[in-house]
Amino acid sequence: MSSNNVVAGLSQDQLNNLDTYLQKNYIDTGKLPGTLTLVARRGEIACVKALGLMDVERNKPMQRDTLFRIYSMTKPVTAIAMMQLYEQGKFLLDDPVHKYIPAWKNLRVYQSGVYPDFLTVPATTTMTIRDLFTHMSGLTYGFMNRTNVDAAYRELKLDGGRDMTLDLLIERLSELPLEFSPGTAWNYSVSTDVLGYLVQLLSGQSLDDYFDEHIFGPLDMVDTGFRVPDEKLERFAACYLYQPGDTMKLMDDPETSRYRSAPGFLAGGAGLVSTIDDYFRFAQALCQGGQLDGKRIIGRKTLEFMTLNHLPGNQDLPGLSVGPFSETPYAGNGFGLGVSVKTDVAKSHTCGSVGEYGWGGLASTNFFVDPQEELVMIFMTQLIPSSSYPVRQELRAIINGALT
């Protein structure tokens, strides 16, 4: 392989397979509207590839500055915000949550019944802040469609209804039972929204203002926030919903999207809109131990701590998960403070390194950071749900194949 075909230790010939693969298997077949992929190594962007359309109905091509709903890729941002406050001594990870939310003192666990007539028993453990970070809190999501508890979340629109606020979410959750006693199992949940509430409580700032001042401002993330202003509407992608038979239908039209107005509910678990370059700046800061261009957002040791596997006994997710859904494959993956962490490469069935971490979003967006290889990947598209296709694993195979 000639050296002029290698950028940052990544083979350009192999990275070109990204284009070919995504175009043939996802764009031409109509499975995805369009894709935008960024791969960087040692701080240098090796490729950015835009394919297909950002808005099928208006025939608008995908662009590098397209704005995407990143849904749960908001979670690592909230986790960093919270850990910045940890570095200021504002809380300890083993603090009981009820120290900050007194109404949560006597939490109960579901036994039987249907909302509002639940039969419950007292939780056998106390929920800690770490349980919120690791999704071992006993909370859930309404979209899980698994239990009578998540049915109550749907009825009360706890995943973010029109009238929801962070204060109301906290109040409602205090009245509902947990799925299990905290620390005893893993279940993807609104835990990170609760962390967003705690960021506000501990900092005295609204979550959007806190993000702007302490993360987006320092990292020069000029296009990331909880809404799309009118002057950026032209760059806002449409969002689609998977349909049986590998087709899709429009779910959220940019023109009429709720993202055009400021939300009442600042969802630390799912609320942000961003661009691929903005999110790359965030991910690259993480890859470089918490700083970018001389601006530090988190301490190096704090980040090392966050990206350890915090599941008890160093287990991976299959040993602890009660829910059917996560934004990462279960096998060979543990969970840190706000991100999934690869613990066993062979067991994960996917190329990579031990210690690789990242997360994805409901509309099939994804990112990972591999500190060992100094490798960062961001993938943007807009198709719900993220479990529609195994594209994330396929991308990892192609990108890791480019390492020289």
Using one digit for the tens of pLDDT, what is the confidence trace for 308-351?
999 999 999 999 999 888 898 899 999 999 999 999 999 999 99
Best CA proximity match to 168, nearest among 276, 249, 264, 271: 264
Helix (H, G, I), strand (E, B) or coil at 176: coil
pLDDT tens-digit readout, 183-216:
999 999 999 999 999 999 999 999 999 999 999 9
Amino acid at 229: P
Tokens of 130: 């770490």
Tokens linked to 111: 């036994």
Task: Evaluate if residue 362 carries a pLDDT over 60.
Answer: yes
- How far apart CA 134 and CA 334 sit, in angstroms, is 10
Q: What is the pLDDT of residue 313?
A: 95
For residue 385, whether the previous peptide bond is cis, meaning omega lies within 30 degrees of 0, is yes
Ordered DSSP codes for 94-124: TSBGGGT-GGGTT-EEEEEEETTEEEEEE-S
Q: Which amino acid, one-letter code, is at 209?
A: D
Helix (H) or strand (E) holding 278: helix 276-287
Q: Looking at residues 257-266, what average pLDDT do you find?
A: 95
Whole-number average pLDDT of the chain: 96
Cβ–Cβ < 8 Å for 363, 381? yes
Report percent pLDDT > 70 for the chain.
99
Specify the DSSP class assigned to residue 387.
T
Largest CA distance in the chain: 69
pLDDT in tens, 100-156: 999 999 999 999 999 999 999 999 999 999 999 999 999 999 999 999 999 999 999
Q: Which residues, including other chains, have CB under 8 Å from residue 180's CB and lie 6 or more apart?
A: 109, 138, 187, 322
Asked if 366 and 379 count as a contact pair (C-beta separation under 8 A), the reply is yes
HSE value, Cβ hemisphere, 13 Å, CA-based, for 257: 26
- Report the C-alpha gap between 135 and 56 in whole angstroms: 36
pTM (two decimals): 0.98
Cis-peptide into 116, omega within 30 deg: yes
**pLDDT score of 332:** 96
Task: For residue 236, list its beta bridge partners.
Answer: 67
Which domains does the chain show, CATH number per domain? 1-404 (3.40.710.10)
Tokens of 222: 């000029």
d(CA 118, CA 44): 54
CA distance 218 to 295: 6
- Token duo for residue 315: 């287990």
Does the structure show a pLDDT above 50 at 2? no
* DSSP bridge pairs for 49: 37
pLDDT tens figures, 367-393: 999 999 999 999 999 999 999 999 999
- The confidence score (pLDDT) of residue 126 equals 98
